[in-house]
């Protein structure tokens, strides 16, 4: 186990393409760090630089106190789990898992003990004699995990390990990897484009876009306090509603106006950063669950209420998504309680925003106004 330090990391390709720019991150020992972002954001490149599979154009990477920029992958004491498993097709599950140990010339008894232990943890003891082609997708991914576990490396690197599994298996493996982290107490760097995986597994999440870190925070902080519209829109499903609005201040009270609606914000928003935007255009962010059609709530919160036309109602069992249009032009999504929601397609519905859970972003910089 070890900490990991990435200092001013750049990855520049021939032709001037910059995949990763000034990446700075301190990963503590035993931390489960998630690198998340859309395709091409540089998350996998960063992971591959940590693994030693890509050269580092600039910057320094340390595992513990050791600078590893010029250390070969085999000497970095890391293990990696690939998206497509990357098992050795001609070897049995046992040999796949034992491969790295044999190369390190460990005693046979030790190899057998370690492989058996990992197989027991991953519940693949009965598969040890099989070849990869005789395994299901989930079993193959377990073997790939097992191959990493037996090595007892300082850092685990996982490159979208669940992407090739079906939805049900993905949820199951997600839980198992989380349990594995709790059990092994090891440092994990995990790359994914799936924000659900990021939110549920990581102790901290690094959101990336176009090679730049956007925000590094715990899942809760990231969700509650996104630093910009990109992070706010990327984290959360359905995504946050972004509304072009303007701020008006009267008697130190902040009002947000959009379409033909004006809502009053609670006193806690009367801070200099917000007050400075008086009369300015902003981006008003509201998560779908902060909009409700609950009649009692709406009647009690008229200052944040508005009406909208219901376009689509999606019943998902535990929750309902309302796709509505305000003033005939502003589409919004609301996540409401199916047990209380009375909204029907084609009707005009009264909605209210939970003003304590809104976000304000600068129109030009798209950065959050509320720090």
Q: Give residues in contact with other proteins (CB under 8 A).
A: 51-53, 72-74, 76, 78-80, 82-90, 99-100, 103-104, 131-135, 137, 140, 147, 151, 164
Task: Between 22 and 194, name the residue whose CB sits nearer to other proteins.
Answer: 194
Task: Between 164 and 325, name the residue whose CB sits nearer to other proteins.
Answer: 164
Q: Is 56 helix (H, G, I), strand (E, B) or coil?
A: coil
Q: Rounded distance, CA 365 to CA 367, Å?
A: 5
Nearest C-alpha neighbor of 208 from the set 70, 47, 20, 350: 20
Task: Between 33 and 155, name the residue whose CB sits nearer to other proteins.
Answer: 155
Query: In angstroms, what is the minimal distance from the CB of 346 to other proteins?
Result: 42
Query: In angstroms, what is the minimal distance from the CB of 103 to other proteins?
Result: 4
Q: Take residue 363 and report the two structure tokens written for it.
A: 């129109």
Residue 256, strand partner residues? 247, 263
User: What DSSP line would sit under 228-288, residue for residue?
Assistant: BHHHHHHSSSSPPEEEEEEEEEETTEEEEEETTEEEEPPGGG-SHHHHTTTT-EEEEEE-G
Task: Between 43 and 335, name the residue whose CB sits nearer to other proteins.
Answer: 43
Query: In angstroms, what is the minimal distance from the CB of 178 to other proteins?
Result: 22
Answer for the pair 148, 80: CB distance below 8 angstroms, yes or no: yes
Q: Rounded distance, CA 142 to CA 144, Å?
A: 5
Query: In angstroms, what is the minimal distance from the CB of 314 to other proteins?
Result: 31
Task: Between 44 and 228, name the residue whose CB sits nearer to other proteins.
Answer: 44
Nearest C-alpha neighbor of 286 from the set 222, 338, 354, 199: 354
Task: Between 74 and 357, name the residue whose CB sits nearer to other proteins.
Answer: 74
Q: Take residue 183 and report the two structure tokens written for it.
A: 């059990």
Q: Take residue 37 and report the two structure tokens written for it.
A: 């972002």
Tell me how far apart the terminal alpha carbons of the chain are, to the nearest angstrom: 34
Query: In angstroms, what is the minimal distance from the CB of 100 to other proteins?
Result: 4
* Residue 94, H or E segment: helix 93-103
Q: Take residue 194 and report the two structure tokens written for it.
A: 């799936």
Q: Rounded distance, CA 316 to CA 338, Å?
A: 9
Task: Between 87 and 235, name the residue whose CB sits nearer to other proteins.
Answer: 87
Query: In angstroms, what is the minimal distance from the CB of 54 to other proteins?
Result: 10
Query: In angstroms, what is the minimal distance from the CB of 82 to other proteins?
Result: 5
Nearest C-alpha neighbor of 232 from the set 310, 192, 287, 181: 287
Query: In angstroms, what is the minimal distance from the CB of 48 to other proteins?
Result: 8
Task: Between 67 and 134, name the residue whose CB sits nearer to other proteins.
Answer: 134
């Amino acid at each position: 186990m070890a900490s990991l330090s990435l200092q001013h990391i750049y990855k520049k390709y021939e032709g001037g393409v910059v995949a990763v720019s000034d990446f700075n991150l301190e990963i503590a020992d035993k931390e489960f760090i998630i690198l998340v972002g859309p395709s091409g954001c540089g998350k996998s490149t960063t992971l591959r630089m940590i693994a030693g599979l890509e050269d580092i154009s600039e910057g320094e990477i340390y595992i513990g106190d050791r600078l590893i920029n010029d250390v070969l992958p085999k000497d970095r004491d890391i293990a990696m789990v690939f998206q497509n498993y990357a098992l050795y097709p001609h070897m049995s599950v046992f040999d796949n898992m034992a491969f790295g140990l044999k190369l390190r010339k460990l005693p046979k008894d030790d190899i057998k003990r370690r492989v058996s232990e990992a197989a027991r943890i991953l519940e693949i003891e009965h598969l040890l004699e099989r070849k990869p082609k005789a395994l299901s997708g989930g079993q193959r991914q377990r073997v790939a995990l097992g191959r990493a576990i037996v090595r007892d490396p300082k850092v685990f690197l996982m490159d979208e390990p669940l992407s090739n599994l079906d939805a049900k298996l993905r949820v199951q493996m997600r839980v198992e990897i989380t349990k594995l982290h709790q059990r092994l107490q090891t440092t994990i760097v995990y790359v994914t484009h799936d924000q659900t995986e990021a939110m549920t597994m990581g102790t901290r999440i690094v959101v990336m876009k176009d090679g730049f870190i956007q925000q590094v925070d715990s899942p809760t902080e990231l969700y509650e306090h996104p630093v910009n519209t990109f992070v706010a829109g990327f984290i959360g499903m359905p995504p946050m509603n972004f509304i072009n609005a303007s701020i008006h201040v009267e008697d130190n009270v902040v009002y947000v106006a959009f379409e033909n609606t004006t809502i009053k914000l609670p006193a806690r928003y009367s801070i200099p950063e917000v007050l400075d935007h008086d009369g300015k255009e902003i981006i008003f962010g509201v998560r779908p669950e902060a909009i409700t059609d609950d009649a009692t709530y709406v009647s009690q919160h008229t200052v944040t209420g508005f009406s909208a036309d219901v376009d689509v109602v999606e019943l998902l069992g535990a929750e309902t998504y309302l796709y509505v249009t305000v003033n005939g032009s502003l589409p919004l999504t609301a996540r409401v309680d199916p047990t209380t929601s009375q909204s029907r397609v084609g009707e005009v519905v009264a909605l209210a925003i939970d003003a304590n859970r809104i976000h304000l972003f600068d129109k030009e910089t798209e950065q959050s106004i509320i720090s």
